[in-house]
Structure 1
Amino acid sequence: MHTSLTFTGIIPARYESSRFPGKPMVELLGKPMFWHVYKRATQCRLLKSVYLATDDNRIFNSAHENNVPVIMTSKAHKSGTDRVLEAAEILSLPQDTIVVNIQGDEPALAPEMLDQLLYPFISDNRIKVCTLARKEQKNKVSHKNTVKVVFSQKMKALYFSRSIIPYSENEQFCHVHIGAYAFKMKYLKLFSELKQSRLEIAESLEQLRLLEADIPITIALTEHICQGVDTPEDIDKVLKLLSDD
């Protein structure tokens, strides 16, 4: 597909994790988890290049051994988004580059999801930030760790919440947010410069910082289901998905 836009994928991968230390290095079918994420991301037809961004020498060295392009970043970052920005700045990416923050704990990522995330930038050059959502039954997504989103007729996010939104006793479905983001480089930098916002702190959701600053987030829909790795108990589910491919 021809487009004049440049899309660059960055996978943040830190070693320390309160729930699962060393998670990016967990071996799945003979390869570290980050390798599976990288290989699937490179299957996205629109991404010009994909990099791993880490703060740990063990991950850095393993990436080299597995032929994954890797960038060393600071240990001080509070979020994956900040790590992605530092990597993008090290790469000296132009302001109009679309930078894709690819979750490092999604080894069964469907490459088509990244295509769906990036298509809106091709059809509308006014888009600043884009993320994904999937329609799901409310009774399956009531847990606070599953983030919900509501959006306008023009596919602009109205609000993200850990609660079920919208509230309705009649509707059986809502939309679940899938945490892959694509930013124009300019707005990725602006995001990091904004202070934490009131709603962001209340919901513990950093994307609300953009909405409170009146920076629109476009929603792209996907039918693909993610199976992230949050705890060691998730490994068996992911291995089944990888083995089925």
Structure 2
Amino acid sequence: MVIAATNSSVDIVSGVLTPGSHLLENWKTLTENYDVGRTCLNSVKYSVVTTVVAMIVCSIAGYGFEIFHDRFKDKLFGLLMLTMMVPFVATIIPLYQAYARTGLLNSTLGFILPSVSTVFLIMLFRQNSKNFPKEIIEAARIDGENETGIFFKMYVPTMGATYAAGATITFMNAWNNYMWARLIMSDNSAQTLPMMISNMITGHYIDYGMLMLAVLISTLPTLVVFFALQKSFVQGMTGAVKG
């Protein structure tokens, strides 16, 4: 991919596997035909907002399922787990109809809502909350700390690795989200990088050099996020909790 981004379309089709001198030319062609800046900004905005909101919502849900006691919570969690068996494509039509009627098409809110509460993330936080020391909660309650303070002052800092793991997964999914974005983002000013790349392969002529450069640009943010949070990601997926 990196080598192809530096070559012309003719060189790529002919199988050239050495770096070329067409990187700047591919960049010029890309920026002349597509609004790369706006598209990148849209992808960053949608992905960051989705990640932040999802971490807040799912961590509160996971914390509640594990810390608070209720005889119906396991049954409710079981129902949530069953929803994982329903493929997303089965809910697209009713979701689109609901969003169209409420005016959420071509909006950040419309993009993020299906992803802000996922059963996988709730399960991740609930499972890792089992390792959270309950004695801290009891001591804080005795000292008069309210539940909100306990969550944000004690739980959130302690579960940093879980947040990193969840944020990595959520950011990558939101960044690479194509099907839902294609459905509700009909305005060109609201398109994301995967949508822009898809538009490049729909014509009669495909400029593979420009295409590979666009794919490279789209790949870099997810690589940066993953490698920056790699250690915490592994700890979070294995249930590690800071002491």
Same structural fold, with TM-score higher than 0.5 when normalized by the shorter chain: no
Q: Indicate the structure whose relative CO is greater, using CA pairs within 8 Å and at least 6 residues apart.
A: 2
TM-score, normalised by the number of residues in structure 2: 0.22
Give the structure with the higher percent helix.
2
Give the structure with the higher percent strand.
1
TM-score, normalised by the number of residues in structure 1: 0.22
